Amino acid sequence: MIERLKQYIVEVCCVYALISVTGAVINQIWGYETNNINAIVMFVLCMIGTFVLYLHKLFDNFSPLFMIIVQYIAACALCALFIWIMSLFFGPVSAYNWFEFWRSFTIPYVILAAFYYWRVFSEAKKQDKLIREIQEKSTKENQDPMI
């Protein structure tokens, strides 16, 4: 459990650093200004997105496409709930801002989720290959007692 929590914290930090640096570069190029609230919101959204991706083991009995779609919807819903709660303190969110939230969340989420699942599936493929090699070696040893 502690190891999984450490891995989660590292993932959140990496995702936040990547999103934060990319956002800073985009803001610098396009001349946008940012503030501390944006940085905090970005960090919380990174935490939510990473947490939802970490729940992929709950969906092992379903198809990968179903799992990815449900996780995306769950992440969007949790992030929208967070934005709504923030709007109670900082003022209402306009329809355009909801669209911007969705766009700003979806693009990095899709890119990072694709990378995350590529890592998960490639690791599973490596483990499957290793299991097959062990099974083949075990089968050969059982068939030929001279080895």
Whether 75 contacts 109, CB under 8 Å: yes
CB atoms near residue 50 (< 10 Å): 23
Tens digit of each residue's pLDDT (9 = 90 or more) over 100-138:
888 888 888 888 788 878 887 888 889 889 889 888 888
- What whole-number distance in Å separates Cα of residue 146 and Cα of residue 81? 66
Which residue would you say has higher pLDDT here, 28 or 103? 103
Res 71: pLDDT: 87
pTM, entire model: 0.65
H/E stretch holding 2 reads helix 2-30
CB 82 within 8 A of CB 40: no
Arithmetic mean of pLDDT, 36-40: 71
Tokens representing 19? 């999103």
pLDDT band at 81; cut points 50, 70, 90: very high
Most confident stretch, 33-37, 52-56, 95-99, 114-118: 95-99
